[in-house]
Amino acid sequence: MKMLINKNASAEKEVVRIHWERDAETFNLLSLQTGEELTAHPAFSLPVFRDSDAWYRRMLPGDAGKELGLLKEVYTKGKGKIRYSMLGLDGSEWLVTESMELKVPRGEGKGIIQGKWICEKK
């Protein structure tokens, strides 16, 4: 019996998609006003990252500081998007595409930041 192997088949990637919302004022206090890159952390559990980890601490050194730049862009332009690499709990490297958008519902002074992370294992 002969087995055919598809040489054009790409390796299957593991992908984690996360959608979230948080209070824009709280996010602002936690991140921009303290001057730290990002002290807030995801309020959910991931199989790849512990939810008690500050998100930026797992970023690879070459991408450090991108998170603060994204937040500044969101607060000044209303939305933004970045890509960076980070390490998973098992030491594996992940490519993260993160996008955020500031929404202010009509008649309300309080804003909400909606975000999306797409994490792909390299």
> pLDDT tens-digit profile of 18-49?
777 777 776 655 444 444 443 344 433 445 55
> What is the chain's mean pLDDT, rounded?
69
**pLDDT confidence band for 13 (50 / 70 / 90):** low
Nearest-angstrom CA–CA distance, 24 and 32: 11
Range of the domain at 94: 15-121
Mean pLDDT calculated for residue range 44-70: 64
- Which residue type occupies 25? E
pLDDT at 118: 84
Cα 10-119-93 angle, rounded to 5 deg: 75
Helix or strand or coil: residue 45?
Answer: coil
Concatenating the DSSP letter of every residue in 11-29 gives PPPPEEEEEEEEEHHHHHH
Per the structure, how many domains does the chain have? 1
The verdict on residue 10 lying in a domain is no
Nearest C-alpha neighbor of 69 from the set 38, 41, 26 = 38
Whether pLDDT at 69 is above 50? yes
The verdict on residue 104 lying in a domain is yes
CATH number of the domain bearing residue 114: 3.30.450.20
Tokens matching residue 96: 């993260």
